[in-house]
Structure 1
């Protein structure tokens, strides 16, 4: 009978293992699932060989239940009826010791109420637990201690007393004025009311704690003492909780440090929204892989470094608009649903537009060209979309496009305008937020004009002289497209911005003006910058209607949908040119980031369209 039961258990074990291979070791997973769904007495004997918990006739397995949906790290005890909220708290409950006969359960998927935590997730959370444990152990006795793994109320020791501690506003105190943190520098010794998120917590004793509060405008150290530390909310306070704090603004004593050199001595506070124990650390750690970080981008942006990036992006947008306003450009708002192409059909996102074929805009250039007879120099900052199946560190499927068109200029005038744009925008950013920019990118320096000019044919010679080859290790030849990596190596070697001009017509789109004296070439330009590569692409545009019609024909494009664009050459043509700048690429270069996704609020690229 025992042999028969053993054979059944092994068969079931193999089935479970094949179904969830890689989630858990087969013995561990089998022990947990059998314990949950199969009668204990039926499998007691065969389980002896696959679960250490049975060796001495002890209980089946140590089980702790966690649920992000229904659990609580404050009131839960880890049972199925009262689960904890986080895996981190479950590990803390076990003092970091996860034996083979221990099973941590999490919310199930599909029709399952519970599932065992995946092996990879458990490994990450154990690692995080030990990281926090080491930080905790490093704090000397008697010194300031950092709150470690917020414990359930019963383990804090002070919760029974906290039930009787109630905070009320003292009506005898001066009325508190609601303020943003950025405005507190001039309010010494005044009573204020601030709202924000708990950024950090430092518990110094039972009746003394410091919290660093942030409200999006800055950071503020708040001093809590006596009864303010003894409420249930204070004892269980965790990072990312939202609070309302009343108190008096004080200049920090000599020898002490805090954000802004000030401190709020609190006299009352209220919990608005409590965050899970451990705050964001219960979801993300420095070891989290990039997909986990992107899945939780809404939490990542709360970090100090990323929030600085968001602020600088805002400053950069403001600087671009200020530049164009100062230079007399008019901002226009082109559509993003289109029925024409600019950069080729292979990179178009198509859609059904009320029964008609339409696309998401690749560029607003054609629409800007129609505006120059109406308003002269014009620009737009809007979204563009490219269906390029590329996962490089500089490509996005959706990005912000800074584009401009100017009438009555030549190629040299276009190059000067691109130089002026980049230098002036950088100068404006430095003047407004130079300290913040240098905090994020200490190596940044405003480029100096004029930029180095390099013709395409000379760039081919440079590449070969530097030993930079094509992918097949053969040298570059005239007429070859210069891919991203060699292009970046070239400009990195030069070490300064480069205006690369006069590309062969075969490498560029049909609407670019041919170079006078050499019809093989175009009056075109790419601005290359170190660390990123191509930042700006531009050209003079065809201004002759016959040349434009030939361009349609050579590309196999039906000119009918482009009637409105062709009319620009019919109703008073002129020499004109323009450019497009990838705003995210600009920010990647400005902020010294390695990857373009680091400067996007929610990046979109192949394989990523969430959250």
Structure 2
């Protein structure tokens, strides 16, 4: 008979089993807590496919990423975690197409696989970029080494300014075509530069002309040749030769260089002159770089023609014994009035920059007779005006103004004078080889105006515009606005309208000859203009219009009668007191007189098809 365990032994065994079970349970709890703690230690990144931003997101709930890959990349993970990206972070996604868009969900299996593939592609691109970077670095080092060796070799080459080859007198570039066969010395800027294996071709300029130079032999092996850039200044000695048949060069000649040196090196690379201004550079950038744009061929040509045109006007005035005077630029009265005056404080009093010197020119008629001035005028334009709709991107604030006043004349005398001046100035410009070349280069279709100019009364012009369906809104069409659905808006011109320039130009182009439009309404003209005896509501005024250009001159006879002038002040609401000195011209020996004005820079730009006033 087996022996049964005592009650105390059973009790002890039960206690031991219970304690063992508690120990195991505690151990399992610790393991679970450890796993939870490890899991909660991972960063949580939020990805919102619709509202997130890879560029600005941080992964926080209020600043989510847009893509999983960007979220993963933000961790800067090591490559060994690429296969298990969820071991680096917890990704919570809000899908763009989910029914409950506000719900954050854990990364799905398919999304995790897609992320892993994206990571693989990213790593490959990184490796390629690093390899390309290393290759570029190697190529850069090799290029730098080659350049260093070239410079070392170039330093050993020395050019000698050998006087035994013949005397080389200092020569301006415009003189070069007359010195074929001679050895000369020139200085200038490198305008264009083209290098070949055995030759360098340079076009240099000094302001007077352009000359082509050819460098060979040691001339292209010296250190200066390696550092040569466009707009650098150089000194060159060489022999002038005619260009070979079938080839072209400025002036029909070229200089074979035997010695030269770099005087002032212009920067290359990112600061190179060629990269500063391009054909598509906007007007604002061009304005900021105006000091550099002036070196360009078009700007140079315009300045040259402008200079020659001013000289031609002076010659024509001199031949007519019209005297040049210099009126003030700071004035206390205005000719036209309006909101475009530049106002400033002049020792406690209001003053303005002049818009016209006409009134001041009239004051010297009794002492000098016929007079003119070429002077800067100023206009504080607030926006694009109809007068500049085709040609000005930014406001025209300063311009060169040519004005003349003639005494003891009648209206027909004024018209004849203006007509002859325009034709003679153009003839002078076309007779000058320099200005003629520039004019025909910039405007190949330019044709000199022929006399007599057509006389067109303002009222007949209104009739022409309406008969030929040139509407009052032509200026809007000129500004490039869409014309669709605007037929009902079109309005015919009426007597009293200030005809828009676009309409004037279209009419002039259709007629195809110079026009003197005369007798404008008094209400759209200045207070000082003389009225027609036969039609008091109209004036003895004129605008000269040229095909392809538009208005070039505006003028009128001036009021000579004191009472009529005072009535003009009153009609326009102009106080007469500040104009006492102008009124006195009618008080102390009045006479018939008239004048005109031409904005030379602006009109020259139009004639030459230059669209930007600056």
Where on the TM-score scale, by shorter chain, does this alignment land: which range?
A: 0.7 to 0.9
Q: Provide closer, same or farther for how the CA distance between residues 544 and 200 of structure 1 changes in structure 2, counting only shifts above 3 A.
A: same
Task: Identify which of 191, 195, 199 aligns with 2:191.
Answer: 199
CA contact (8 A) 1:53 1:60 kept: no
CA contact (8 A) 2:302 2:605 kept: no
CA contact (8 A) 1:376 1:406 kept: yes
1:227-376 aligned at under 5 Å gives the runs: 227-277=218-268, 279-376=272-369
- 1:559 offset after TM fit, Å? 1.5
Specify the structure having the higher radius of gyration (Cα). 2
Q: Provide closer, same or farther for how the CA distance between residues 267 and 4 of structure 1 changes in structure 2, counting only shifts above 3 A.
A: farther
- The 3-state SS of whatever aligns with 1:178 is coil
Aligned twin of 2:602: 585
Supply the distance in 1 between the matched residues of 2:336 and 2:464 (Cα, whole angstroms).
Answer: 28
Aligned twin of 2:210: 219
- The 3-state SS of whatever aligns with 2:257 is strand
Aligned twin of 1:98: none
CA contact (8 A) 2:410 2:592 kept: yes
1:359-386 CA distances to partner (integer Å, 9 max, x unpaired)? 1111000001111111111000111112
Aligned twin of 1:402: 402
CA contact (8 A) 1:156 1:235 kept: no
In structure 1, list runs of 5 or more residues that go unmatched: 17-25, 66-76, 80-91, 95-150, 598-602, 604-611
Supply the distance in 2 between the matched residues of 1:61 and 1:437 (Cα, whole angstroms).
Answer: 54
Supply the distance in 1 between the matched residues of 2:125 and 2:543 (Cα, whole angstroms).
Answer: 75
Supply the distance in 2 between the matched residues of 1:535 and 1:335 (Cα, whole angstroms).
Answer: 24
- 1:64 offset after TM fit, Å? 13
CA contact (8 A) 2:171 2:185 kept: yes
Supply the distance in 1 between the matched residues of 2:312 and 2:369 (Cα, whole angstroms).
Answer: 21
Detail structure 1 runs of 4+ shifted over 6 Å in the superposition. Answer: 5-8, 38-46, 48-53, 59-65
Q: Provide closer, same or farther for how the CA distance between residues 163 and 327 of structure 1 changes in structure 2, counting only shifts above 3 A.
A: same
CA contact (8 A) 1:246 1:267 kept: yes
- The 3-state SS of whatever aligns with 2:432 is helix
- The 3-state SS of whatever aligns with 2:381 is coil
- 1:171 offset after TM fit, Å? 5.0
1:29-69 CA distances to partner (integer Å, 9 max, x unpaired)? x99xxx9xx997899999x999999634947977999xxxx
RMSD, aligned α-carbons: 3.6
Aligned twin of 1:163: 155
Q: Provide closer, same or farther for how the CA distance between residues 78 and 174 of structure 1 changes in structure 2, counting only shifts above 3 A.
A: farther
CA contact (8 A) 2:541 2:555 kept: yes
Supply the distance in 2 between the matched residues of 1:516 and 1:561 (Cα, whole angstroms).
Answer: 29
Does 2:582 match 1:574? no
1:491-570 aligned at under 5 Å gives the runs: 491-570=508-587
Aligned twin of 1:465: 467
1:435-456 CA distances to partner (integer Å, 9 max, x unpaired)? 3322332212211111101111
TM-score normalized with structure 2 length = 0.74
- 1:572 offset after TM fit, Å? 0.5
Aligned twin of 2:3: none
CA contact (8 A) 1:245 1:266 kept: yes
- The 3-state SS of whatever aligns with 1:537 is strand
Aligned twin of 1:454: 456
Supply the distance in 2 between the matched residues of 1:64 and 1:563 (Cα, whole angstroms).
Answer: 81
Supply the distance in 1 between the matched residues of 2:280 and 2:437 (Cα, whole angstroms).
Answer: 29
- The 3-state SS of whatever aligns with 2:56 is helix
Supply the distance in 2 between the matched residues of 1:496 and 1:361 (Cα, whole angstroms).
Answer: 33
- Report which stretch shifted further, 344-353 or 404-413: 344-353
CA contact (8 A) 2:548 2:607 kept: no
- The 3-state SS of whatever aligns with 2:258 is strand
- 1:254 offset after TM fit, Å? 4.0
Q: Provide closer, same or farther for how the CA distance between residues 328 and 394 of structure 1 changes in structure 2, counting only shifts above 3 A.
A: farther
CA contact (8 A) 1:153 1:159 kept: no
- The 3-state SS of whatever aligns with 1:444 is coil
More helix by share: 2
TM-score normalized with structure 1 length = 0.74
Q: Provide closer, same or farther for how the CA distance between residues 287 and 572 of structure 1 changes in structure 2, counting only shifts above 3 A.
A: same
Equivalent pairs, count: 499
Aligned twin of 1:189: 181
- The 3-state SS of whatever aligns with 2:466 is helix
In structure 2, list runs of 5 or more residues that go unmatched: 1-40, 59-65, 83-87, 90-114, 474-488
Supply the distance in 2 between the matched residues of 1:327 and 1:364 (Cα, whole angstroms).
Answer: 20
